[in-house]
Amino acid sequence: MSRTCSFMKRNCDRQIRRDLMTSASKRLIKMSTKADAKRDSGLTIPEEIEYIRDLPYGEENRFHSLDVCYPKEVNPNEKIPVIVSVHGGGYVYGSKKVYQFYCADLAKRGFAVVNFNYRLAPYYHFPDPILDIDDVLKWVYDNSKIYPFDTENVFLLGDSAGAQLACQYGVIYTNEEYRKLFDLSLPHLTIRALGLNCGMYDLYESAKKGGKRGCFKDYFGGEPLKQYGEKLKVLEYLTKDFPPSYILSAKGDYMRVFAEPMAAFLDEKGVENDKKIYGDRKTGHVFHVNVRSDIGREANDDEIAFFKKYLVK
């Protein structure tokens, strides 16, 4: 097949899948696009941050690209801790463009931040985003001589769907039995802690209750319990070796109900964690991504302070 024909076929397949997207996902995309544009209107990357865009990390041109940002004051041979940020968006929405200002703001706190696109539903399905996280982490290691990445001090964070993905990858990283279900090998770096922000964490229960509708229907693409079974039982495989975790939410966050049970579950497993619920009823979902928000900056400062407790010199 010629490149032109192959390109046309891919576009046709994508349009078909787009047409099959649930109305709930379409509403989420429309609402989020408008809200994110309003939130970030007029923002620019801080002058003191080096921001490198559109680096490929895989074969899918549309999704497999990432940005790297870090303080310009970093010396050429200096290595600084790394944050890998997993964006939210219900598995159907979101991009590194939407998270560029948030990631640049994190970089101001002395980190190299990797901000990446991953494969979205309904064009791709579970567990493709997890495989993309694994590829990004391996890209970080492979490129640690080019960029100021301290691969012994890596932190993984995400919000909303990204928090669920970060949590799931934390289990993959620390449990060989679960990792084998995905046919993955450990990346040659050290994840010191996780940031679990405004997320849902019990994937199996969520798939059981809502796997055939809305964003989950687009993400799983059919019968999740029959298709994926054991891979969905994330929390059953979570052990005491799970990375220390900072769990944040807000009083107006509709996913706040998952924060307390997750913190209690980590306590039960003997995993170090800290949980904080921010703001008031007007402080909503993924509030911390708004770099203009005082309460958002406070939450990010607290999370970074938590990460710094686990840095290894």
Predicted confidence (pLDDT) per residue in 205-236, tens digit: 999 987 677 899 999 988 888 999 999 999 99
Q: How far apart are the C-alpha atoms of 249 and 247, rounded to whole Å?
A: 7
Q: How far apart are the C-alpha atoms of 166 and 244, rounded to whole Å?
A: 12
Q: How far apart are the C-alpha atoms of 187 and 179, rounded to whole Å?
A: 12
**pLDDT at site 14:** 56
Domains and CATH numbers, the chain: 3-308 (3.40.50.1820)
Class of residue 307 by CB neighbours under 10 A (exposed 0-12, middle 13-18, buried 19+): buried
DSSP one-letter string for 43-59: ----TTEEEEEEEE-SS
**pLDDT at site 222:** 81
Q: How far apart are the C-alpha atoms of 13 and 7, rounded to whole Å?
A: 10
Return all residues near 229 (Cβ < 8 A) that are at least 6 apart: none
pTM for this predicted structure: 0.94
**pLDDT at site 3:** 43
Q: Do 160 and 198 meet the contact criterion of CB atoms below 8 Å apart?
A: yes
**pLDDT at site 13:** 53
pLDDT tens for each residue of 154-195? 999 999 999 999 999 999 999 999 999 999 999 999 999 999
- Nearest CA to 195 out of 108, 82, 68, 45 is that of 82
What does pLDDT average to in each consecutive run of 10 residues of the chain (313 residues)? Answer: 44 58 95 98 98 95 96 95 99 98 99 98 97 98 98 99 99 99 97 99 92 86 89 98 99 98 99 99 98 98 99 95
Q: How far apart are the C-alpha atoms of 110 and 100, rounded to whole Å?
A: 16
**pLDDT at site 155:** 99
**pLDDT at site 12:** 44
